[in-house]
Amino acid sequence: MTDANGRSRRRFLRAVGAAGVAGLAGCSAEPVAEETTSEPTDAGGTAEPTAGTTTGEPTESMADTLVVATYPPFVNAPSTSPGAWLKEEFESEFDATLVYQTPDSELNYYIERAVQGVDFEADVYVGLDTGQLIDVDSQRGEGQFTGPLFAEAGDIAGGDAIKDGLRFDPQSRAVPFDTGYVSLVWNATMDGGEFAAPETFEDLTAAEFGDDLIAQNPTTSTTGEAFMLHTIDAFGTNGYLDYWERLQDNGITVLGNWSDSYSAYLNEEAPMIVSYSTDQVFASTEGQDLDKHQIRFLNDQGYANPEGMARFADSDAPRLARRFMEFMLRPEIQAGIAQRNVAFPAIADAPLPEDYAQYAKEPPESVTFTYDELEANLGTWTDQWARRFAGG
């Protein structure tokens, strides 16, 4: 026993010693910079204009590293994701290195840092939507930021090719680079091959579709939020809660996020799910049965969720960031993103392969709320939904 005891003591000491070293290596203390106000002589080092977007260009040297912040699946999906390809294409053309940052809390990560006054390295954010932009602005409204988080995009090459109706930022900071449509996906092999999804929101509450739909929680999921907004568009701010009550009575299943609900759909828990109208793109490349991946646009509409990119106002490489945004809007890059991100391009003339349109369905009519409508109401709408629905 003594022998074993001695061995364990050494092991214990080794372990504690190692933790101590790691602890020291993991801590740092840096002098705190002077409180930065709007003075141009800030501690950032690189002299760059704080507000103007284009005026500083002639004097600024081209920085050689661009830090692109985005949501994890953009670079890291198990199937296809545009990240690696974009990095390769960008670096082969520009004499620069593209570095990705993919925090799990997405844009909130940067908002939290900005609110706390902590520096971050990202130059561009790729993949923000109207709701996130509103989050950014509501924080600034409380005066916690010393300046705006994002700079105005200004006049960027290729910007005029963006489709009408996709621009969602009234202050022109966010530039759309792709869009998706939230729709129903349904499984025609269910009910012994007899199942067919309803055509309208009204029919969805019919008894024959009881227990047939899986949706997501608007307070925790983007697709869930889009579907709720679509019902608000269809039934009005006074009617949507009653409509949801009918959905609830008809046995709708509301799960927490898209992946939970999609795995339930794949396990054939229900024949319909709220998802994206590009669902078949992936199913076809995987050789899956397309009958299980049918698309239905209720009321012949789909809720449009454009994705934008914006440059951080305190980026060290504003010129390179602008080049990157222009690069993202080029037709061949647009086509590449669309195929790898399984979404629609933001411009009309992206050279997509022919079969892409066959699998990525566009709704006859697209529905979306504007920044102003959402800014005034989104919080209330979601809270009301949560209170009514969770109370059930």
Partner 1 sequence: MDRPVGAALRRRVSGARLARALRRARTAGPAALAERFALPLLAAVTALLLALLFYYPIATVFVDAVVEGDRVTFGPLAEVLTDEFYLVRVLGFTAYQALLSTALSVALGLPGAWVLARFEFRGRETLRSVTMVPFVVPSVLVAAAFYATFGANGTLNAGLSALGLPELDLLPSLGAILVAHAFYNAPLVTRVVAAAWESVDAGAVETARSLGASPRRAFRDVVVPQLLPAVLTGATLTFVFTFATFAIPLALGGSQYATIEVFIYAARRQLEYGRAASLAVLETGVSLSLMAVYLRYERAQAAERRDTRGLIRRSLWPESWTRERALRRLAIAGYAVVVALVFVAPLASMIYASVSVDGRLTLDAYRFLLERQATGADFQVKPFPAIVNSLLFGAATLALALPLGVAMGVLTTRRFRGRWLVDALSMAPLAVSGIVVGLGLLRGLVFGVEAFGYRFTVTGAVAIVAAHAVGAYPFVVRTVAPPLDRLDRALVESARALGASRARTVLDVELPLVWPGIVAGAAFAFAISIGEFDATVILAEGGGTDTMPVAVERFIGRRLGPATAMGTVLLAVTAASFVVIERVGGEFRG
The answer to whether 275 and 223 are in contact (CB under 8 A) is yes
The answer to whether 215 and 261 are in contact (CB under 8 A) is yes
Of 91, 268, 332, 372, the one binding partner 1 by CB under 8 A: 268
Cβ 216 to partner 1 shortest distance, Å: 9
- The interface with partner 1 within residues 151-210 (CB under 8 A) comprises none
- In this complex, which beta carbon is closest to partner 1, that of residue 162 or of residue 274? 274
Residues sharing a CB contact under 8 Å with residue 357, sequence separation 6 or more, in sequence order? none
The answer to whether 182 and 275 are in contact (CB under 8 A) is yes
Give the number of residues in contact with partner 1, rule: CB under 8 A: 82
Of 46, 55, 97, 288, the one binding partner 1 by CB under 8 A: 288
Piece of 5-13, 41-49, 147-155, 369-377 that binds partner 1 (CB under 8 A): 5-13
- The interface with partner 1 within residues 316-345 (CB under 8 A) comprises none
- The interface with partner 1 within residues 350-389 (CB under 8 A) comprises 379, 382, 386-387, 389
- The interface with partner 1 within residues 101-160 (CB under 8 A) comprises 101-105, 108-109, 111-113, 116, 118, 135, 138-139, 142
- The interface with partner 1 within residues 298-317 (CB under 8 A) comprises none
The answer to whether 179 and 368 are in contact (CB under 8 A) is no
- The interface with partner 1 within residues 12-51 (CB under 8 A) comprises 12, 15-16, 18-19, 22-23, 26-32
Of 49, 56, 73, 147, the one binding partner 1 by CB under 8 A: 73
Query: DSSP secondary-structure letter at 108?
Result: H
Query: DSSP secondary-structure letter at 72?
Result: T
Of 234, 241, 264, 352, the one binding partner 1 by CB under 8 A: 264
Cβ 275 to partner 1 shortest distance, Å: 9
Piece of 39-47, 175-183, 267-275, 346-354 that binds partner 1 (CB under 8 A): 267-275
* Secondary structure of residue 117 in the 3-state scheme: coil
Cβ 235 to partner 1 shortest distance, Å: 19
Cβ 341 to partner 1 shortest distance, Å: 12
For position 241 contacting partner 1 by CB under 8 A, the verdict is no
Q: How far is CA 342 from CA 215, 224, 276, in A?
A: 20, 19, 9
Tokens of 70: 């985005």
* Secondary structure of residue 166 in the 3-state scheme: coil
- In this complex, which beta carbon is closest to partner 1, that of residue 162 or of residue 182? 182
- In this complex, which beta carbon is closest to partner 1, that of residue 154 or of residue 307? 307
Cβ 296 to partner 1 shortest distance, Å: 18
- In this complex, which beta carbon is closest to partner 1, that of residue 55 or of residue 259? 259
Cβ 219 to partner 1 shortest distance, Å: 4
The helix (H) or strand (E) run that includes residue 83 is helix 83-93
What residue type is assigned to position 259 of the chain? S
CA-angle at 172, arms to 166 and 176, nearest 5°: 35
For position 89 contacting partner 1 by CB under 8 A, the verdict is no
Cβ 161 to partner 1 shortest distance, Å: 29
Residues sharing a CB contact under 8 Å with residue 244, sequence separation 6 or more, in sequence order? 228, 231, 385, 388, 389
Cβ 9 to partner 1 shortest distance, Å: 7
Piece of 40-48, 275-283, 315-323, 327-335 that binds partner 1 (CB under 8 A): 275-283
How many C-beta neighbours within 10 Å does residue 65 have? 13
Of 279, 252, 292, give the one whose Cα is nearest residue 358: 279
* Secondary structure of residue 220 in the 3-state scheme: coil
Query: DSSP secondary-structure letter at 200?
Result: S
Q: Where are the alpha helices (DSSP H) in 98-212?
A: 107-116, 130-141, 190-193, 201-204
- In this complex, which beta carbon is closest to partner 1, that of residue 60 or of residue 269? 269
Q: What's the first-to-final CA gap in the chain, in angstroms?
A: 61
